[in-house]
Structure 1
Amino acid sequence: MTEPFGARLRRAMDERGPLCVGIDPHASLLADWGLGDDVAGLERFSRTVVEALAGHVAVLKPQSAFYERFGSRGVAVLEASVREAREAGALVLMDAKRGDIGSTMAAYAESFLRPDAPLFSDALTVSPYLGYGSLKPAVDLARQSGAGLFVLALTSNPEGGEVQHAVRADGRSVAATVLAHLAAENAGQEPLGSFGAVVGATLGDLGSYDLDTGGPLLAPGIGAQGATPADLPRVFGPALGRVLPSVSRGVLRHGPAPAALRAAADRLASEVRKAVGDA
C-alpha cells in the first residue's frame, strides 16, 4: 500500500523545507520570460521550473487553468510536468479546485487521484461549497490511493468571506464547519493527516478558529499578495508547525535562469524555517 500523503508530506517538509512553489504560467509571466503565449512557451516555462525546482522544494503546485486554456496540447504539457516533477522527487499538488456532486465529483477525483490516471497527483485542491459531504468520492479515492486533499476553508481572496464567514443555524461559521470535518478525517493519522485546509497567510490573527485539524495547512499569499514568512506565527499560532506556505510569483519572477529560481526558492524556504522555528 502507498504511504499516506500526510506522512510523505511531513518528510518532504522536514528534509527540503516547508515550501510549496506554484507553477502558474500566465500570459504576463510568459512575456516576462521572453516566451510566447502559446504551447511552445508553456512547455518551455514548465520544463524550466520543473528542472530547476523539482529536486529542491517539497511541493510543486501546477495551476491547471493555465494549461487548460491551451486545450488538449496544454493538458499534455501538464501531464508531462506532473510526471517529471514526481520523478525528480517533488510532491505534486494539483491546483484545480474541483467541486461537484455524485458521479461528477467521482470523475473529477479519478482524473487526478487514480494512480493510473495521466494527471495523477500526490494531492488535489477541492472546493466544499456544495456541502462538505459532496467531497466524499474524492476523500474515499484519496484514502485508497495514498493521496491527499486540500480543502478550501479560509481563502486569501477578499470575496471568500461572504461564504466562509457566514454563520450557520448552529452558530458555527461555514469555515469552522469545514475545519471540523477535516479534523475528523485526520483523526489518528500520524505524523500528519492527509486532508489539509487552504488558509490564507494574508488573513491576520485567526485565533477565533480552531486550526488544529491534524492535517497540513496550505497558506497562499506569501510574496505578491503581501504576506511574508514573518507573518506566519501571528496568523497560525499553535498550528504553525503544520503550515505549508505557497508562493508563485515571488519565485517565478526570478526566472528564467534556473539558478535564480533555485536561489529564490531556497531563500524563501530559509525564511520560513526561521519563522517556524521549532513549532
Structure 2
Amino acid sequence: MEIDISISALSNSQAPQAHFADRLIASIRQKGNPVCVGLDPRLEQIPEFIKERQIKNYGRTVEAAANSLLEFNQGIIDAVADVVPCVKPQSAFYEQYGFIGSWVFEQTCKYAQDKGLIVIADVKRNDIGSTAEAYAKAYLDDVTVFDETFPGMSVDALTVTPYLGYDGVKPFIELAKKKAKGLFILLKTSNPSSGDLQDQLLDERVAEGFGTEGRLTNYELMAHLMESWGADEVGESGYSFVGAVVGATYPKQATRLRQILPETFFLVPGYGAQGGRAEDVKPCFNDDGLGAIVSSSRDIIFAYQENPEFPPTAYAEAARAAALAMAQELRT
C-alpha cells in the first residue's frame, strides 16, 4: 500500500468551529434521528469481492487486509452520510493490523468528516500528566513541528476513561474546550460485568459531600464529579461539550444518570446485537427529545448478512436500510 505522508502546512486563517454540542444537535436535527453508526470492521465479515480485489492488488498481505477495511468503510460512509448524524470508529479494530491499520483508522475518520459526518473516535484513552496531554493532542489537535502547523487527526470527539481521576481527564477537557471538540466519559458501560466496579456502593459520607442522601454507586459518584467538568462551557443548546457513555443495556441506571446530568449528552452503545432495544434507551433522552446518540455497529455495517434481499455486493445499501430502520425504531 502506498501511503502518502506529504502534508501541507495549515493556514493561520481557519474559521473557529461552533460549540461541539451545538454542532451535534444541528446534525441530529438535519438528519432527523440520533443514530450513530459504529465502524468496527471485521475482516472475516467483509464481502469476499472486496477482499479478492485487494488481494489481487497486494497479495495475501496486511496491506490487502487494510485496504479491504478502508474500501468497506468508505462504502458504508457513502451510504449513510445523508441519513445519520455521526459515526464512531473503534480504534482496536484497526490497531490490530499495526501501523497500516492505524493509517486506515485515520483515513476513515477524515473520509467521514469530508462527507459531513461528526466523527467520534472510540479510543477510551486516559493517563496522567504529560501522557494524557499527548493523547489529547493526538486526537483533537493539529500537529506543530519546527514552528509549522500541519493537519492532525483532529476528530470531533473521543471517548475517555475517567478512573485515574481528574488529573487524567483535565488535559482532554482543556484541549477539547479550546478546540471546540467533544468528550464522552465512560460512566455506565454496556458490558455484562460493568457492575463489578461501577455498581458498587460507597460509604454514606461520600453522598453527603454532594448534598445527597443514602449511598452512591461508583457510577453515580463519577457522574457527580463529571457534572462540574464541562459546566463552564455550555453551548447555545444548553448542553455541555463533556458527554457520558451510558450503555443501552442498563435503562434503570440511565434513568438515574439522566437525573444527575440534565445538560450532558449521552453516547449510548449496546443497541441491537448487545441486547439494547428502543424502549431501553428512552431514559437516556431529555424531554426535548435530545440529549443522546445511540450507537449500533454490527447490526448496521453487516446487515447484508442477515437480510437476503441484499447480496454481498449491496452491503452498503443494506447498511443504509438498517440505519433507516433503526432511526424509525427510535422514533416510536
TM norm structure 1:
0.90
Q: Deviations over 1:93-149 (max 9, x none)?
A: 000000111111111101101145532110000101111331000000000000000
Out of 227, 236, 243, the position equivalent to 1:183 is 227
Q: Which residue of 2 aligns with 1:19?
A: 35
Out of 145, 160, 166, the position equivalent to 1:132 is 166
Give the CA deviation at 1:33.
7.7
Secondary structure of the residue aligned to 1:241 is coil
1:1-279 correspondence runs (5 A): 1-16=16-31, 17-30=33-46, 35=51, 38-116=65-143, 117-169=151-203, 170=206, 171-187=215-231, 189-190=234-235, 191=237, 192-206=239-253, 207-209=255-257, 210-233=259-282, 235-236=283-284, 238=286, 241-255=290-304, 257=314, 258-274=316-332
Q: d(CA) in 1 for partners of 2:28 and 2:322?
A: 17
Q: d(CA) in 2 for partners of 1:61 and 1:238?
A: 22
Q: Which residue of 2 aligns with 1:277?
A: none
Give the CA deviation at 1:2.
1.8
Asked if structure 2 preserves the Cα contact closer than 8 Å seen for 1:106 and 1:138, the reply is yes
Give the CA deviation at 1:213.
4.1
Asked if structure 2 preserves the Cα contact closer than 8 Å seen for 1:197 and 1:218, the reply is yes
Q: Deviations over 1:170-220 (max 9, x none)?
A: 143221122123322333613121111000111132244434241210111
Asked if structure 1 preserves the Cα contact closer than 8 Å seen for 2:129 and 2:167, the reply is no
Q: Alignment RMSD, CA only?
A: 2.1
Q: How many residues align?
A: 273
Q: d(CA) in 2 for partners of 1:151 and 1:238?
A: 19
Asked if structure 2 preserves the Cα contact closer than 8 Å seen for 1:149 and 1:196, the reply is yes
TM norm structure 2:
0.76
Asked if structure 2 preserves the Cα contact closer than 8 Å seen for 1:182 and 1:213, the reply is no
Equivalent residue letter for 1:182: M
Give the CA deviation at 1:28.
3.7
Q: Deviations over 1:13-62 (max 9, x none)?
A: 11111111100012342368863782132122222122222333111000
Comparing 96-105 with 166-175, greater Cα deviation is found at 166-175
Structure 1: runs of 5 or more not aligned: 275-279
Equivalent residue letter for 2:301: L
Asked if structure 1 preserves the Cα contact closer than 8 Å seen for 2:81 and 2:116, the reply is yes
Secondary structure of the residue aligned to 2:267 is strand
Percent identity between the two aligned chains? 34
Q: d(CA) in 2 for partners of 1:140 and 1:208?
A: 27
Q: d(CA) in 2 for partners of 1:211 and 1:23?
A: 30
Residue 33 to residue 125, structure 1, CA distance change in 2 (3 Å) = farther
